[in-house]
Amino acid sequence: MKKTLFILLLSSFTCSFAQNEALKPYGPIPTANQLRWQKMEYYAFIHYSINTYTDMAWGFGNEDLNLFNPDKLDARQWAKICKEAGMKGIIFTAKHHSGFCMWPSKYTEYSVKNVPWKNGKGDVVKEMADACKEFGLKFGVYLSPWDRNHPDYGKPEYITYFRNQLTELLTNYGEIFEVWFDGANGGNGYYGGANETRKIDAKTYYDWQNTYKLVRKLQPNIVIWNDGGDRADLRWVGTEAGYVGETNWSLLNARGDVPEDMLRHGVENGNAWVPGEVNTSIRPEWFYHEREDRKVKTLPQLLDVYYHSVGRNGTMLLNFPIMPNGLIHEKDEKAIQELTKTLKETFKSNLAKNAKITASTSRGKTAQFAANKSIDNDLDSYWATNDDIKTASLTLDFGKMTSFNRFLVQEPIRLGQRVKSFSLDALVNGKWTEIAKETTIGYKRILRFPTVEATKLRLNILDSKSCPLISNIEVYKAPIVLTPPTIIRDKEGLVSFKSGDKESEIYYTLDGSQPTSRSPKYTTPVKTADGKVEIKAISYNPFTKQSSIVGEESFDISHKSWKIINTNDINANQILDGNSTTSWHQKNGDLVIDLGKQQKISGFRYLPAQNWWEEGSIITHFQFSTSTDGINWKLASEGEFSNIKNNPFWQTKTFEPVQANFIKFTPMKTVNPGSDFGIAEFDLITKE
Ligand code: FUL
């Protein structure tokens, strides 16, 4: 009797002792601040400053203070939109490159204290900080190191000024979760009236180490973002397009240059923990420009940003520009609402929750590291293997046929990022089939794949730096996103369709009739007649039998027989490829096209180059001539594309029909005088 009791006591003692086994971290690990930040996953940027009123990407530093007088400024609207989108915080441009301060800084006159808004008594930083507090959001500040207004920029005195401002921001506005030091540094500017170019050495000028000390002293819980100078807590991912690499290590080397490839993927054996933050704007540019009202990211684009940031071991920092009236545009609000709705539906019901899970091997004999720790809804507990193991698997048994198309997996990164490669198999009709083969996991990895119907799902860790640890697995069936397909006709007359969700089917018609699921189904590019064609298409969900609204496009005669004859530049054909994201630029000269046969022409259409950095190349004035022999030309139309700068989309000009074998489009002026001419697409309007 006594002996049994003793054994019982002993075994419960060894059990509880074993349960407390603390695994050793492997390699660099996050600080408590980095860990807290990583868990935020998804938060906002807000760009608003004096250059909002001059339609500029970067203020020069001499913008008139009288311009700042919004009549509807409402930081609560910004915070409400972000909160409802499920975001966890907002980083606000307290000072952008123009040097204009959105708070009444004691150290400069170039601030809200000298503007008409609220008679100089306003403080946008405070309104933002208060709104974040009210809506339960964390607050961060963007303080541009480059200051195109300050007379001392480039001299040692400016560093004191910069630190004084930093002290104001990090002292007077409550807890700050992140500070952003942008990498654009030095160049031309106003500089207190000097109007000159000032160059600085970004590596030495700012004496970052001492600035970091000040920041951490004032805000012990902060994370520092810096892509220009010394390495800080977070890294830029090398692009503002909204993605980080599929392979994404949260590591870099503490010293040495960081080329783009390292920013994109991290460094597998790096000696410092520097995770990536994916920053992008909901529109092409960071500040508000009316001309971009039609360029707000679509739902499929926003979903891509989410899966390519949060889904790839990064965080998502999405920017909203503020309009001159002081509000976020309703199109941006609608776009983020659609994203929120889709993400909510996607991650509503975790199919791993009720599955049975087993491991090929687990650490020790206790429950502490058992397979089910990866589905227990507790990020602190995890499945682990013995130290010498680098390859192992976890199998989820759903107990019945289950369909899914998303897989989410997490490592407990407080013990280091370990997994180097993994794959996913599904048991389909009694056979294991590989559905994905990937590299890193990190804090969170989400995979998207076509819907699979299976009874079991197996995660294979194929290689790991040290014994693999998995803290969480989730499985979902995301609804298919139904957006109208985009329709493109290339130079050869082949039509292709693209839907917002690879899983949806596409049905189309070529005669202008309404497409249904009984219309032809799109598989490969479709040959169309050389003449005019009206195409309609829907995206279709074969499971729910729902369709998107109809996408439609009308094309004039095909470009098959057309030849651009006054250039050898092969890029010229991009203006006839139906793809609006590619463009052709030329310094001078006309666009001359041999149409291959005579056509009756009654107009033309011009689409300017679409990227914001190509804006200067938009053609504002033109001449259009025709010819039957390519020698003698007759002017058919000339003039201006009114408002094209603000509305850089298809421009149509019509005229009395003329017979022509050749056409000549002569650009006369561009938005930026002297800039080259940019054309994304060019087309003709013909009469039968
Ligand atoms: C860039 C800046 O130059 C842009 O204006 C913007 O603030 C973006 C977030 O960072 O480098």
User: What CA–CA distances, in Å, run from 81 to 285, 387, 466?
Assistant: 19, 47, 42
Fill in the DSSP letter of residue 140: E
With a 6 A CB cut-off, is 182 part of the ligand 1 pocket? yes
> Helix, strand or coil for residue 352?
coil
Please give the pLDDT value at position 15: 39
Residue carrying structure tokens 């079991």: 456
- pTM here is 0.90
Q: Which two tokens stand for residue 305?
A: 């940003």
Asked if residue 180 lies in contact with residue 140, where contact means CB atoms within 8 angstroms, the answer is yes
Cα–Cα nearest to 446, from 424, 414, 479, 469: 424
679: CA distance to ligand 1 center in Å? 27
265: CA distance to ligand 1 center in Å? 21
81: CA distance to ligand 1 center in Å? 22
Helix (H) or strand (E) holding 164: helix 156-172
> Helix, strand or coil for residue 357?
strand
Angle between helices 330-346 and 299-307 (to 10 degrees): 60
223: CA distance to ligand 1 center in Å? 18
List the residue whose alpha carbon is closest to atom 4 of ligand 1.
286
What is the distance between the alpha carbons of residues 607 and 671, in angstroms, rounded to a whole number? Answer: 14
Distance from first CA to last CA of the chain, Å, rounded? 105
pLDDT at 19 over 60: no
pLDDT at 13 over 60: no
What is the distance between the alpha carbons of residues 442 and 410, in angstroms, rounded to a whole number? Answer: 6
295: CA distance to ligand 1 center in Å? 18
Write the CB contacts of 527 (distance below 8 Å, at least 6 apart in sequence): 493, 494, 495
49: CA distance to ligand 1 center in Å? 12
Asked if residue 686 lies in contact with residue 601, where contact means CB atoms within 8 angstroms, the answer is yes
With a 6 A CB cut-off, is 286 part of the ligand 1 pocket? yes
SS (H, E, C) 630-686: CCCCEEEEEEECCCCCCCCCCEEEEEEEEEEEEEEEEEEEECCCCCCEEECEEEEEE
Choices 2.60.120.260, 2.40.30.60, 3.40.50.720, 1.10.443.10: CATH for 563-686: 2.60.120.260
pLDDT at 33 over 90: yes
Q: Which two tokens stand for residue 110?
A: 């170039």
What is the distance between the alpha carbons of residues 537 and 482, in angstroms, rounded to a whole number? Answer: 12
With a 6 A CB cut-off, is 280 part of the ligand 1 pocket? no
32: CA distance to ligand 1 center in Å? 27
Please give the pLDDT value at position 10: 41
pLDDT at 644 over 80: yes
pLDDT at 603 over 70: yes
Atom of ligand 1 nearest to the CA of 96: 7
Which residue intervals of the chain bear CATH 2.60.40?
486-555
> In this structure, how many other beta carbons lie within 10 angstroms of the beta carbon of residue 156?
9
Q: Which two tokens stand for residue 340?
A: 């929120």
- Between β-strands 187-189 and 178-181, what pairing exists: parallel, antiparallel or unpaired? unpaired
For 356-476, CATH number?
A: 2.60.120.260
CATH topology of domain 486-555: Immunoglobulin-like (2.60.40)
With a 6 A CB cut-off, is 279 part of the ligand 1 pocket? yes
What is the distance between the alpha carbons of residues 600 and 603, in angstroms, rounded to a whole number? Answer: 10
Q: Mind listing the pLDDT tens digit for each residue in 49-102?
A: 999 999 999 999 999 999 999 999 999 999 999 999 999 999 999 999 999 999
What is the distance between the alpha carbons of residues 333 and 288, in angstroms, rounded to a whole number? Answer: 14
What is the distance between the alpha carbons of residues 258 and 266, in angstroms, rounded to a whole number? Answer: 9
Please give the pLDDT value at position 332: 98
Q: Can you give the length of the chain in residues?
A: 688
Write the CB contacts of 5 (distance below 8 Å, at least 6 apart in sequence): none
| DSSP secondary structure of 575-632 | GGSS-TT--EEESS--EEEEEEEEEEEEEEEEE---SGGGGGG-EEEEEEEEESSSSS
58: CA distance to ligand 1 center in Å? 8
Confidence band of 170 (pLDDT split at 50, 70, 90): very high
Q: What percent of the chain has pLDDT over 70?
A: 97
Q: Mind listing the pLDDT tens digit for each residue in 563-572?
A: 999 898 989 9
What is the distance between the alpha carbons of residues 375 and 474, in angstroms, rounded to a whole number? Answer: 7
Cα–Cα nearest to 35, from 315, 253, 246: 315
Atom of ligand 1 nearest to the CA of 47: 7
pLDDT at 634 over 80: yes
- CA angle 132/134/140 to nearest 5° reads 15
Q: Which two tokens stand for residue 45?
A: 């940027």
Atom of ligand 1 nearest to the CA of 45: 9
Atom of ligand 1 nearest to the CA of 279: 9
> Helix, strand or coil for residue 497?
strand
CA-CA-CA-CA dihedral for 28, 241, 96, 226, to nearest 10: 10
182: CA distance to ligand 1 center in Å? 7
Which of 263, 286, 289 has most ligand 1 atoms within 8 Å of its beta carbon, as the pocket-test mutant? Answer: 286
With a 6 A CB cut-off, is 184 part of the ligand 1 pocket? yes
Asked if residue 221 lies in contact with residue 140, where contact means CB atoms within 8 angstroms, the answer is no
What is the distance between the alpha carbons of residues 277 and 313, in angstroms, rounded to a whole number? Answer: 9
Cα–Cα nearest to 654, from 619, 609, 621, 624: 624
Q: Mind listing the pLDDT tens digit for each residue in 220-277?
A: 999 999 986 688 999 999 999 999 999 999 999 998 888 889 999 999 999 999 999 9
Q: Mind listing the pLDDT tens digit for each residue in 501-528?
A: 989 999 999 999 999 999 999 999 999 9
List the residue whose alpha carbon is closest to atom 8 of ligand 1.
286
List the residue whose alpha carbon is closest to atom 3 of ligand 1.
184
Please give the pLDDT value at position 229: 64
Indicate the average pLDDT of the chain. Answer: 94
- Between β-strands 563-564 and 591-607, what pairing exists: parallel, antiparallel or unpaired? antiparallel
Confidence band of 543 (pLDDT split at 50, 70, 90): confident
Q: Mind listing the pLDDT tens digit for each residue in 341-387?
A: 999 999 999 999 999 999 999 998 889 999 999 999 999 999 999 99
Please give the pLDDT value at position 647: 78
617: CA distance to ligand 1 center in Å? 22
- Between β-strands 223-226 and 178-181, what pairing exists: parallel, antiparallel or unpaired? parallel
User: What CA–CA distances, in Å, run from 417 to 272, 313, 386, 543?
Assistant: 12, 10, 17, 39
Q: Mind listing the pLDDT tens digit for each residue in 397-429?
A: 999 999 999 999 999 999 999 999 999 999 999
pLDDT at 11 over 70: no
Which of 240, 282, 612 has most ligand 1 atoms within 8 Å of its beta carbon, as the pocket-test mutant? Answer: 240
Please give the pLDDT value at position 186: 85
Confidence band of 322 (pLDDT split at 50, 70, 90): very high
Atom of ligand 1 nearest to the CA of 144: 7
140: CA distance to ligand 1 center in Å? 15
With a 6 A CB cut-off, is 227 part of the ligand 1 pocket? no
Q: Which two tokens stand for residue 423?
A: 């794959």
CATH topology of domain 32-344: TIM Barrel (3.20.20)
Confidence band of 587 (pLDDT split at 50, 70, 90): confident
Q: Which amino acid type is present at position 635?
A: L
> Helix, strand or coil for residue 489?
strand
Q: What percent of the chain has pLDDT over 90?
A: 86
Which residue intervals of the chain bear CATH 2.60.120.260?
356-476, 563-686
Strand partners, 615: none
Sheet containing 486-489, strands listed edge to edge, beginning at the edge strand earlier in sequence:
486-489, 494-498, 526-527
Atom of ligand 1 nearest to the CA of 58: 5
With a 6 A CB cut-off, is 382 part of the ligand 1 pocket? no
Which of 96, 182, 236, 289 has most ligand 1 atoms within 8 Å of its beta carbon, as the pocket-test mutant? Answer: 182
Asked if residue 452 lies in contact with residue 404, where contact means CB atoms within 8 angstroms, the answer is yes
Q: Residue 430: left if φ>0, alpha if ψ -120 to 50, beta else—which one?
A: left
275: CA distance to ligand 1 center in Å? 19
What is the distance between the alpha carbons of residues 37 and 35, in angstroms, rounded to a whole number? Answer: 5
List the residue whose alpha carbon is closest to atom 10 of ligand 1.
182
> Helix, strand or coil for residue 243?
coil
Mean pLDDT on 640-652: 85
